[in-house]
Structure 1
Amino acid sequence: MKLIIIGLGNFGASLGTKMTALGHEVIGVDTNMERVESYKDKLSHTICLDATDEVALNKLPLNNTDMVLITIGENEGSNIMATANFKNRKVNRLISRSINNVHENVLHAIGVDQIIRPEEESAERWTKKLNTKGIIDSFELNKEYSIIEVIVPKELVGLSFDEIQFKKKYNILVMTVIKNKQETSFLGQFKIVPQVQGFPSSTTV
């Protein structure tokens, strides 16, 4: 996948670095030359450019890009201007970061494909992890549904899905089971590797 990230602050740079590590082609854009230089070896490409300048966008390969992410967080005005510029260019998929509810309303009005609020999303995940016993991680789909990773309660270990009846008794749909397996690295050191077991059946224990 080819994507352009506008804004190489903490969130944008971290996202770009991780996406590059997964094999995606990432172009990182920022007005700060120091940031551009510091990430040139961590991203596929970096460009010093002002995305609020519509003419400057001609330097970007927008026609060959799958996704544009506006991750500017410290300046709402620049975020909105950059988002509007890319919306005018009709890029394939436009995602923008919002700082507050008013900012989010403006982005909705512009018509972005998706809005992200990393601080709020991170706070929600940590709230669940800190307040609910056994939760490893969580992702909130909406106010009613979440995807969560939990440690199996001891009283369920050794029972089959048919015996437990997750859906009937608890209104929980189990997507998969993850088991930790010990492997040996090429240096002879032991490490724990999580292995996804696939979709469980009624006989899965």
Structure 2
Amino acid sequence: MKYIVVGLGNFGASLAEKLTAQGNEVIGIDTRMAKVDLYKERISHTICMDATDEFTVSGLPLKDTDVIVVAIGEDQGANVMATALFKNFQVKRLISRAINPLHEKVLHAIGVDEIVHPEEETAERWAKKLCLNNVIDSFELSDQYSIIEANVPKEYIGKSILEIGFRPQFNLLVLTIIKPIQVQSILGKTHTERKVQGVVTPEMVLEATDILVLFGSNKDVQKFLKFKE
């Protein structure tokens, strides 16, 4: 896949490096030439440019890029301007870094697809999340094994756990299923909560909105996710 990471601070540079190491094509962007020089051997491509300048940004291969991550953390104004600019170009998938709750509200207002909180989430976790299609979240137990949350693929909707054969076909364990449910507050407002279904039985039938919680080796997880595409 192809990525653009804007802002080569600690989080942005680490994310760009890990995505590159996983075989993706990554363009790392920063306004500081020292940062560009520092990572030019560790990231597929590095460019020194101002991501808040519309003319400059228009020269990037935006149509061919799968994901753009605005990882600018030092300058909230530049973060918002760059995010709004990429959103205006109607890129495929836009992820931006939030510094505080107010900043996050502004990003939501712009219409950002996903928001990153580097203080709470590691670059390694996001690298895995971005590389594996349909993964909602992941937790690495070791270098070889992970627990992931993934959307139910279309071809499995309406089928039971037994019919799909997670263990014999993919060598994966279905730990549980999470179902989103609508809950009404005492003020009458409705919001969505995640309800864990407990121990999975072979007869359980998957629905379109279900979230699978799977355990297995990283190799088998990748095999399953590639099979789904």
For normalisation by structure 2, the TM-score amounts to 0.57
Q: Indicate the RMSD between aligned Cα atoms, in angstroms.
A: 2.9
Task: Report the structure number with the largest CA radius of gyration.
Answer: 1
Counting only pairs closer than 5 Å after superposition, residues 105-120 of structure 1 correspond to structure 2 as 105-120=105-120
Q: What's the secondary structure of 1:86's corresponding residue? A: helix
Q: What's the secondary structure of 2:47's corresponding residue? A: strand
CA distance in 1, matches of 2:13, 2:139: 26
| Structure 1 residue 55: Cα displacement | 1.2
Say whether residues 1:176 and 2:203 are aligned partners.
no
CA distance in 2, matches of 1:83, 1:109: 11
Give the aligned partner of residue 36 of structure 1.
36
CA distance in 2, matches of 1:172, 1:34: 53
| Structure 1 residue 175: Cα displacement | 2.5
CA distance in 1, matches of 2:6, 2:114: 15
Higher RCO (CA-CA < 8 Å; seq separation 6+): 2
Percent of paired sites with the same residue: 54
Counting only pairs closer than 5 Å after superposition, residues 1-205 of structure 1 correspond to structure 2 as 1-121=1-121, 171=198, 175-177=214-216
* Cα deviation digits, residues 64-99 of structure 1 (max 9, x gap): 111110000111111000000000111111000101
Deviates more, 1:23-32 or 1:52-61: 52-61
Residue 104 and residue 25 in structure 1: after superposition, are their counterparts in 2 closer, same or farther (change >3 A)?
same
Q: What's the secondary structure of 1:65's corresponding residue? A: coil
Residue 121 and residue 149 in structure 1: after superposition, are their counterparts in 2 closer, same or farther (change >3 A)?
closer
Question: Given that residues 176 and 196 in structure 1 are in contact (C-alpha distance below 8 angstroms), is that contact kept between their aligned partners in structure 2?
Answer: no
| Structure 1 residue 172: Cα displacement | 5.0
For these two proteins, the number of residue pairs brought into alignment is 148
Question: Given that residues 6 and 51 in structure 1 are in contact (C-alpha distance below 8 angstroms), is that contact kept between their aligned partners in structure 2?
Answer: yes
For normalisation by structure 1, the TM-score amounts to 0.63
Gaps of 5+ in 1: 126-140, 152-165, 179-193, 200-205
CA distance in 1, matches of 2:17, 2:45: 11
